[in-house]
Structure formats: C-alpha cells, structure tokens
Amino acid sequence: MNVPHKVTRLCAAISTALLISCNAEDPDTSTGDSATITGIAIDGYIAYGTVYVDADSDNRLSVTDPRALTDQDGYFSYNPSTGQNYCADNATALEKRYCLRTYRHMENVILRIVGGYDTQTGEAFDGSMSTRIASTSESVGHTAITPLSSVLAGVSQDDQSAILVALGLTESDLNINYLSSTDYNSQAFTKALQLHKSVVLLNELFKDHYEDSDTSPADLSPYIYTEIAKQLLSSQHFTVSETLLSNIDKVIRESLKNDDKLPAALDTASQGIQQMITRTHQVQTMITQLVDGTNKTAGVAAARAVEVAVQKILNKEPDASINSAIPDNITAGTLPQSELASYLAKLSDETVDLQVLVESSAPEVDVEYAAPDTSEASQLNTLNSYRVAFDYAEDTAAGEIVFLFDGETHSPEGDVYGCLKYSDTADTQYDTQGTLMTGHWSAMPGNDYAVLLDVKLGSEAIQQQLVMKSIGIDGGTSSHQFRFEFAGKYGVWESEDGVTPVADSNEMPQDSTACAAYFDHQ
C-alpha cells in the first residue's frame, strides 16, 4: 500500500518529534459474507496489539489480511468484562477497530497477534503469538491467543494432545484466562512465560543472524514455536540446546532458500550462541522459582522481574548488569523466603517503572530500588478535561505537542485530542503550524500512572498506539517527566506544567486549523 507523500511528511515530523513509528491504516477487508472471531490475547494481557488472520500463511501481516486491535483488556470483538460488542451494528467507527471479521468457509485458519503492550508489565509486547481455528464457516466464539496456543498452532490435533501431556497441561487449560482472579493457574502461567520469553530471546538471536537478508520476516517467532513443538513431541521435554537452534536455523534457511544474501549456517558452538543458551536457561529457572505455586499478585510481580532480566539480555547489557537481574540466589532457590516475599511485594506495586530497573547499572539487585519514588508523579487514571503539553527542541528542529483528554467524569477512558507544531530550519518540508491528532485514551489496567493512547494523525490514514507514563519531576529543571513507549522504542519527555485542567471543553480542537489557533494563544 503506497502512503501519500503528505502522510509520509507528517509521519516524519511526528516521528522526529516523538519518535513514533507511524503506520498507515489498511483498508477494511470485511465483506457481507464474513465470520466474526472473538477472543483474548494473553502473555500478560496484550492491549492495542494487532490480531490478524494469516490468510496467505506467510507468517507476516499482509495488506489483505483481516485484522483488528485488542482493547485495553486484551479482548477483540467482544469484551465480557464490560459487555462491549465491538462488532455490533451500532458500534462506533472507533469500536469497530476492535472487531475481527474474516472470510467465511476458511479451513485451518491461523490467527496471530503482533505489537501492543503487556498490561502486566507496561512494556511493549515482543514477538508474536498464534492459534489455529479449524473453520470459519460460522462465527468463532471465545478463543485465547497465548504461548500455549502458539506451540500447538503448527501441529496436528493428535500431536497437540501429546504436547499438552509433555507440558503437564490439559486441553481445558488452553482457552481459560489463566491470569484472571477467578481462574488463575500458576502452572499454566509458568509454562506460558517460559515458552514465550525463550522464544523472544531466540527470536532476537535469529533476527541478528539474518539481519542482512532481503526476505527474512521481521518476526521469526512462528518458526521457533514450531520447532519447540517438534522437540516436545520427540523428547517430551523443552530445553534450549544446540540441536534445537540448528533445527530452527535449517527451517528458516529453507524458507529463505531463494535469498542470495543468506549468511552461513548458525555456528552453535560460538561463544555468543552458547551465552544465549545459558541466559535462556537462567530465565527459565528464574520463572520456575518465582512463579510456580504463587498467587496472582506474586505471579504478576514475578513476570515483571523476569521482564527486566529479558530486556537487559535483549539490550546486550554487560554481564554484571544482567547477572544483577538474574541473581544466583533466585535461580538456585536459596533466596530466603522473607527476602523473596519482600522483593515480589515491591515489584507488585503499580508504581514500578521497569525501564528504570532495565537501565540500572547497579551491581546487585536493590529491592528498594524496584519501586521508584512516584510521590511527585501524576495519576493518569481519570484524565477527563485535562491536558499535558510538551516543548521540543533538538539541533535545527523545534516544536510543541499537546494532548487534551475528554470523557465522562471519573471514567478511566475517553477521547483524546492532540496537536503537533513542528519546524526545522534545515528542512522546511516537514513544517506544520498545527496538525490534529484524534483518538482514544484508556487507563492502563492496574497502573494509575500510565495511560494507553490510540491516535490518528490528521485526516490521513496514520494510526499509532503508545503508552504514556508519569515518572515524577526532574530535580534539576522541576519539569514533569513522562516516558513514552511506542513500537518497542522508549523516550522521556518533560512538561513544564505536567497534567493541568482544561478550563473550557470548547478548548478541544476539532481540526488542524484549530490546532494552529491553539498554539497561537498559548
């Protein structure tokens, strides 16, 4: 799909200002002869992820693949907790973006999810997950896309039973919400977390290996999940080994055999590969020690601890930093129970900003540091009639961005309006005196200091989902600090006034002309 030149220019402007990776909205592929698919995506709950039907079975999101976003709770098409039917005839255009319709009479359909945010950790969701649907001759009821469904998606029904036995699970574990307060299942959560975090680490390893390939997909998770399934069938045990990595490498190479830029076969004996094998085993052990047998609150805290370790590995941090995130006394199971309980209690605090821990170079895990002081952070769970404004300046570029929030009083969601002003003395083609952004905001479930934003830039087809977190006040400048997370990228912005009331609801801009006027009156 070719994006109009004007869209590209506006996207470049906002990408430079806010580091957002803009995506053009694809055409509606639904027809009158369609089937609705309803479900939920769980790693933690994946909000604002893209669920799509891999209609051409190419392991990537194609322009013609039917798709939908997941809502703030991870649901698509229907949210049972709110009773919201996103596919209803009277649903708004915004609500219908969470409705997944696909072609009828498709057999053995693969459903995948990419992108979005894990609401347990507040971090971007890495990799992809999938599930297999036998037929779309009728609309499909509740289905769960999880690491457990992902390892089964590429095998036959008979083989699925054997894999479940190897994992110590039953078929009834597949479509339950194993993270819910009523159905929390620590065993299923442990297995799911071990599977996907291993896939995330191996996905990065193989992406690095094939980075110069012209045809390699950006995400290799489906290949990795399939080979893990084969290992479970043959040995009844999942472990990251040289053999597993060699098998994954062979499958990827075969799929890319017409690519003339393929690197040499993976050298599984190399120091870097051996180190990744070791790190993956450490993460798996850490998950077993922290999650297995816990209650939901401790389980969520454990998932946050694991996420810090995984992100440090992905960022290729020095060994000392990674070792501090995977302490020997946790992986060995020798950390005193009182200290472990204290550690998990700190990480269960909704104020924890995991990126602070990821970026920490502390030589050892500091339990107190796991919960940064947010006494000066701003709660973002009820933003109706509030605004946040930022100034931007770097090299020859300068600009302003303001977000204005609307909604019912005390509601955890509503409409968001944004205005962008941008200029660059070195390249004026991106200049704008005022460009409107419109969309939806919703409080991050379980975190009063974070908000999910789903915004559209101007009248053009550019849509972006991002997370904004309030992280306190800069002691040097007295400015309010906000961390933005988008498309796997992170950036901290400062606002002089922070979250302030909107004096008049008429202040909400309705077009780019109103945005320009808004900046003129500031």
Q: What domains does the chain contain, in order, with CATH numbers?
A: 32-145 (2.60.40), 186-219+253-370 (no CATH), 386-520 (2.40.128)
Residue 29 pLDDT grade (very low, low, confident, very high; cuts 50, 70, 90): very low
- Single out the residue of 292, 332, 302, 120 nearest to residue 191, CA to CA: 292
**In angstroms, rounded to a whole number, what is the distance separating the alpha carbons of residues 311 and 298?**
20
**In angstroms, rounded to a whole number, what is the distance separating the alpha carbons of residues 189 and 146?**
10
Over residues 330-350, the pLDDT tens digits come to 777 777 777 777 778 878 877
- Which amino acid, one-letter code, is at 139? S
Highest mean pLDDT among 355-369, 434-448, 450-464: 434-448
**Helix (H) or strand (E) segment spanning residue 72:** none
In contact, 86 and 71? CB cutoff 8 Å: yes
Residues in the chain: 522
Give all strands (DSSP E) within 302-443, no chain letters.
386-394, 397-405, 413-424, 432-443
- Single out the residue of 250, 228, 40, 55 nearest to residue 152, CA to CA: 228
CB atoms within 10 A of CB 384: 18
**In angstroms, rounded to a whole number, what is the distance separating the alpha carbons of residues 509 and 421?**
14
- Single out the residue of 69, 199, 187, 111 nearest to residue 147, CA to CA: 199
In contact, 520 and 422? CB cutoff 8 Å: no
Least confident of 183-192, 197-206, 287-296: 287-296
Name which residue leads in pLDDT, 325 or 245. Answer: 245
Give all strands (DSSP E) within 300-366, no chain letters.
none
- What's residue 327's pLDDT? 78
**In angstroms, rounded to a whole number, what is the distance separating the alpha carbons of residues 478 and 495?**
9
Average pLDDT, the chain: 85
> What percentage of the chain exceeds 70 in pLDDT?
89
- Single out the residue of 448, 397, 461 nearest to residue 426, CA to CA: 397
- What's residue 457's pLDDT? 79
Name which residue leads in pLDDT, 7 or 161. Answer: 161
Residue 13 pLDDT grade (very low, low, confident, very high; cuts 50, 70, 90): low
- 70-96: average pLDDT: 92
The pLDDT of residue 448 is above 90: no
- What's residue 87's pLDDT? 96
The pLDDT of residue 10 is above 70: no
Highest mean pLDDT among 4-8, 319-323, 458-462: 319-323
- What's residue 2's pLDDT? 38
In contact, 509 and 428? CB cutoff 8 Å: no
- 297-313: average pLDDT: 91
What long-range pairs does 232-237 form, CB within 8 A, spacing at least 24? 232/151, 232/162, 232/163, 232/166, 232/167, 233/155, 233/159, 233/162, 233/163, 233/166, 236/165, 236/166, 237/166
The pLDDT of residue 27 is above 50: no
Over residues 393-404, the pLDDT tens digits come to 888 888 899 999
Q: Model-level pTM?
A: 0.85
Over residues 93-110, the pLDDT tens digits come to 888 989 999 988 888 889
Least confident of 36-50, 77-91, 94-108, 314-328: 314-328
